[in-house]
Structure formats: structure tokens, C-alpha cells
Structure 1
Amino acid sequence: MPGEPSGGLRAPTQPSLTLLPRLPPAVHRHGCPEEWTWDPRDCSPEVRLNGARLQTALFHPNWSNGTAGVRGTRSLNRHGAHYWEIHVQRRLFGTSMMFGIATKKARLHVDAFVNLLGEDEHSWGLSHKGMLWHGGRCRPYTRPFRENESTVVGVLYDAIQGTLTFYRDGVCLGIAFSGLHRVLGGLYPAVCSTAAKTEMTLGVTIRAFDSLEDRCRSAIARLLQQNDAIEKLPLPNRVKTDLRTLMQADGQRFSDEGARSLAEGVIACR
């Protein structure tokens, strides 16, 4: 939109990339798992994190007298696309339950019932009431979520295009925000809620490859099944470290047979 400020609100349209069936091919077919979760050191005191990966955020475990939020553990890569899903339990109600992204400057707690994501220039959010918020301003985006019904909210951040797109139960709602490539500083996934005893659980977290080397690392990781098999590969230590991180994110295991096959392939390519 001509003259639109950085991170401004934008009328809903379809993303420039074709959805197959729900996401751009770069993410859906050619992406890889991304390892991050909710950050226990970067959340409101009214947020409790549960689960093996701290993937479930419980807001206001006793009662609520304000708004609580939490950021993700990893900033979003500025060279590709990221997609994640948030599963909301049946307790979906209140002044505002929100999904979006935020810089480190965004507040995560306030003793008032507010739309916290998007209250200023440091965050961008979608409220369960169907409104988009940024810079303290809002506009309609989609129909309100049905209260007291579980739902899955998908978030697609395209760093190249500088856009943020939301999905609800697998349906693309269109581009919500643009100009995000001009934002200074890191951007982090974030959620918040005003309602007592509400839960949001992080589901799928994937990203597009940002280079040929990135794609090759992922291809190698898919063929391995045991952790110690990495040491059998004739690769630099830096690449081995990256492989271990990938395998933890993907939940896969390594095999000696796969390692031998890969080692032969690496040597043959030299």
C-alpha cells in the first residue's frame, strides 16, 4: 500500500505465494522443523509453562486482574519464512486473547484488561474478537472466534516480503500486516490473554530453508537415526553441531547404516 508506515495494517489479501494447500511451497513442502518454544525467562509472572518442551502456556492460573503474555525463545530469521500453530483450548473468552509477534521492547504484563499485542509500535497481534492491532490502533480482519470452542491459529511470517498472515483451523485469513522487513531489532512469536485459566499450546513450528547449505544439512539429518552416528561423518565440527540441533528439533534418531552411506557419499563428492 503506497505510503503505508512500517508494520502498518493492511486490508486482508491472499499471500503472494500459492498455498499448497495451506502454506507456501517453500514452507509446506521444502521446509524443516524449527526448534523453539515459550521462554520461561521472558513472560508475565501470571504465565505458567507446562509440557516436556514448555510448549503449553497457562494464563492466570488462579484469577485474572490484568493481561499476561509470553515470547518465544528464538527470534525469527530475517532471510526466509516461518510458520507455527497455536492450539487454544475450549476456554476461549474474555476481553482479549491474542496471537502475533513482538520485539523485546513490547510489554508482557499489565494490570489492566487490554489488547496487549499491538498496543504500541513494538508488537503486532490478532485478537480472538477478529481485530488486528498495531500502534494502538485496530481494524476488522476476520469474524470473531467462537467462544468456549477449541481452535488452531496458524501464523506465517514471511521475512522477505515483510508480511504476517494468520490461519484459523487451516483456512488462510489473508495478509494482516506488511512492512515488517523494515522493523529494527529481532521479532519473536508472542501470545497473551486476559482470561483466567486459559491455555495455548505450541504445535507445529517450521521454517523455509534460507540457503543451499541449510537444505543439505536437513537432507543429511533425515537419513540419520543415532546421535553418535554424526561423529562418523567426514564433516566440519560446525556442521556436526548444526546437525545435532536439527535432529533435536525434528525428533529423529540416527543409524550407523545411514551414517556409513552418507560418509561414502561425502567422500565421493570430494
Structure 2
Amino acid sequence: MSPSLASSTHATRMKPTNLKASLLQYDANWVWSKRHRSHEVILSESYRKVYFHPNWSKGTAGVRGTHAINSCRHYWEIHVSHRVFGTSMMFGVGTANVRLNANMFVNMLGEDENGWGLSHKGLVWHGGFTYKFSEPFIENEATVIGIYFDGLNGTLTYYKDGRCLGVAFHDLNKIGEPLYPIVISTSAKTEMVLTETRRDFPSLKDRCRGEILKHIKQKSNLENLGLKNHEVVNYLLDEFYEPQP
């Protein structure tokens, strides 16, 4: 069994973390990626609204966020429409190797070592292993899912309609690859809207990087900064993302 899933099994018996998302003072500025999504996903409302399987569903579709989130603390909220049903609707994080489309109905986020996800059936998944984490979501009832990723301590905490469900995963700070927010659904005409994205900056250095990257539109633009130190360039590239096409 995966160490991160095994340790989280113990953590769910502990008292839930009392997080106030308002303590994360800065807007994270990420949205859903137009490049990295299933062909069964339609994006709108400035890439914040996801519409899954617009006609009918014959498999599983997903989309990931534009930004990697490893280096600090992030909190985001997803408003899910009343169409809560089907094999699997999932919320969590994963590497760039998480598949975002399958011609079958599967729990795609967490089916292997690349993803960590919670399904609407109250099950958490990672490495192909699963266990009960919460009560199943009520079908055909809208809900709000909050996700708190602590990149410093390596934990992933879930909230539902303002109530903390607890810590689902540990050791995510040991993952050597970029991690991205991901949502997945097997259900036709499901809507999920990203309504809040907050983050902190662990240091002044990180905050300066964030300000610099607001003005960098392409990787080639870094050359115009005249930076001679390759470590600094690589540090900036760690959080750089290409703008939406």
C-alpha cells in the first residue's frame, strides 16, 4: 500500500484541522487548463467553469489546473451543480502523468501513483487503493467542495459545504514532480465552477517570484531579464506556466 494513503488512514481518525482559508492572503490566479483536459470537457467563464460530457457520457473526463502548487499552501473551492451522480466525480491533485480521458467509467484520479483524489461516494483513492473517508455526497444536490493543500507539511485536507472532513493524504511534500489541482467526472452534463483560489507565500523570496512571473508571458522572456545565475532562472521556472492559448 502507498505510504501516503496508509498514513492518511490514521489521520482521518484524528480531530479535523481547523483551517481558516482567509489566512491565505493572496489570490492564486490559476484556472482550468485549456491544454490539459479531456475532449469531453468544455471550459467557460474565464476558464473557471467546467462542463463535463455535454451530450452523453461514455467514459471518464478530467481537467487539471494551469499552475503547479507544490511550493506553498493553497486553498480552492469548487461549486458542484445538482447533477451529483454516477460512477465517479473526483476532486484532488495529481502529477502531469494523470490521464484525463478514458473510454470507460473509472475512478481515474488515484488509480495509480500519480493521483490523490476524493470521490463523491466518500472514498479516497491513491495508487489503486481506496478506503472510506466520508459519507457519500447526497445525489442530485448541489454542494461546495473546499480543498486545502499544504505543500510545506505535505497534507491534503477536504471541506464540504464549509465543514472540515479531515486530512486525507500525507507526505505530498515528498513528491518530486509538479502537482496540479484536478477534477474528474463520469457523469453527463456535470458543472463544476472554481469560485475561490487562495495561497500564501512562505518567504519574501517566494512573493518576489510571484510578482516577477505576473509579467512573464513566455519562457523566452526570461532571457530579457539578463539573469546570469542559472539557479535563479530555474527557481523562476519552477512556478512558470504558459498562458492559455
Q: TM-score surpassing 0.5?
A: yes
Partner of 1:190: 182
Residue segments in structure 2 that go unaligned for 5+ positions in a row: 217-245
Question: 1: distance between equivalents of 2:92 and 2:15?
Answer: 18
Structure 1 residue 35, shift from structure 2 partner = 0.4
1:212 Cα deviation after fit: 3.1
- List runs of 5+ in structure 1 lacking aligned partners: 218-237, 246-270
Q: Relative to 1, partners in 2 of residues 1:84 and 1:131: Cα closer, same or farther, differing over 3 Å?
A: same
Counterpart Cα distance in 2 of 1:129 and 1:87:
17
Shift of 1:137: 1.0
SS of residue matched to 2:4 = coil
Deviation at 1:213, TM superposition (A): 5.2
- Give runs of aligned pairs for residues 1-270 of structure 1, distance below 5 A: 5-9=2-6, 10-11=8-9, 12=12, 13-14=14-15, 19=18, 22-23=19-20, 27-51=21-45, 53-78=46-71, 80-212=72-204, 241=212
Look up the SS of the partner of 2:5 in the other structure. Answer: coil
Q: What is the aligned length?
A: 212
Q: 1:156-176 CA distances to partner (integer Å, 9 max, x unpaired)?
A: 111111111100011111100
Specify the SS of the correspondent of 1:105.
coil
1:5 and 1:119 map into 2 onto residues whose CA distance is 12
- Distance, in Å, in 1 between the alignment partners of 2:103 and 2:210 is 46
Amino acid aligned to 1:37: V
Partner Cα separation in structure 1 for residue 23 and residue 121 of structure 2: 32
Partner of 2:228: none
What is the deviation of 1:209?
2.0
SS in 2 for 1:8: helix
Distance in 2 between the 1:206 and 1:108 partners?
A: 24
SS at match of 1:185: coil
Q: Return the letter of the residue paired with 1:70.
A: V
Please tell me whether the aligned partners of residues 42 and 51 of structure 2 are also in contact (alpha carbons under 8 angstroms).
Answer: yes
Query: How far is 1:208 from its partner?
Result: 1.6
Asked whether the 8 Å contact 1:7–1:182 carries over to 2, the reply is: no
Report the CA distance between 1:201 and its aligned residue.
0.5
CA distance in structure 1 between the partners assigned to 2:41 and 2:190 by the alignment: 10
- Structure 2 contact 77–144 (Cα < 8 Å) conserved: yes
Taking the aligned partners of 2:210 and 2:142, their CA distance within structure 1 comes to: 41
After TM superposition, give the deviation of residue 239 of structure 1 in Å. Answer: 8.6
The letter of the residue matching 1:102 is: G
TM-score (norm 2): 0.80
Retained in 1: the 8 A contact 2:70–2:173?
no
Report if aligned partners of 1:44, 1:69 keep a CA contact under 8 Å in 2. yes
Higher gyration radius (CA): 1
Letter of the 1:98 counterpart:
M
How much does 1:8 deviate? Answer: 2.2
The percent of aligned pairs where both chains have the same amino acid is: 49
RMSD of the alignment, in Å?
2.1
CA displacement at 1:29 relative to structure 2: 2.4
